[in-house]
Each structure stands twice: as structure tokens, then as C-alpha cells.
Amino acid sequence: MTRLRFRVTVNTDNRLMSGTTMSREMQLLGEAFGYDPFDERLALIDDVNKPGYAELVSTRSQAFRSRPRRVPAQTHR
């Protein structure tokens, strides 16, 4: 399938009802087809997840710093 460039997804469908996990599904994939996604997983984390998270944090941080400051209401005695 890899040679033919098939696109395949792996999921647990209904994890709680089927009694499986993504880790277990990936293990079964490896056992059945000799597939080891470790390097691809690391590349996905390094090339997609980390930059996306850094951008999100930066954007939220900038939005937080640029928001108008509220002046606390004074209490009258």
C-alpha cells in the first residue's frame, strides 16, 4: 500500500465501547504490516505541533499584552 501511495487513517472509532487505545491500534498496525511510525510521529511533532503551539502562545500573549487595562472601581465609604 505504501508503494501505491494509499492514504490510510488509524483511529479507535469508539474508544470506550471498543476497549482499545490509539497506542494499541498503532501496535496492531505495526504487527500486521511492519509499520513503525515513530520517526514520522517525531517529524509531525517537530514540524507541525511545536511551531503551531508556539504561534498560538505568541498570538495569545500579544493579545493579552495589547488588551485595554481595566481600572479597578473605587469603593465609596
Same domain for 3 and 31, yes or no, is: yes
**Average pLDDT along the chain:** 81
Same domain for 44 and 62, yes or no, is: yes
Burial class (CB in 10 A: 0-12, 13-18, 19+), 12: middle
Is 74 among the domain residues?
no
Write out the E strands in 4-76.
Answer: none
Q: Which domain holds residue 48?
A: 37-67
Predicted TM-score (pTM) of the model is 0.43
Same domain for 18 and 46, yes or no, is: no
pLDDT, tens digit, 9 for 90 and up, residues 42-77: 888 899 999 999 998 888 777 777 777 776 677 766
Is 77 among the domain residues?
no
Is 75 among the domain residues?
no
pLDDT at 76: 67
Same domain for 28 and 41, yes or no, is: no
pLDDT, tens digit, 9 for 90 and up, residues 12-32: 777 778 888 888 888 888 899
Number of structural domains (the chain) is 2
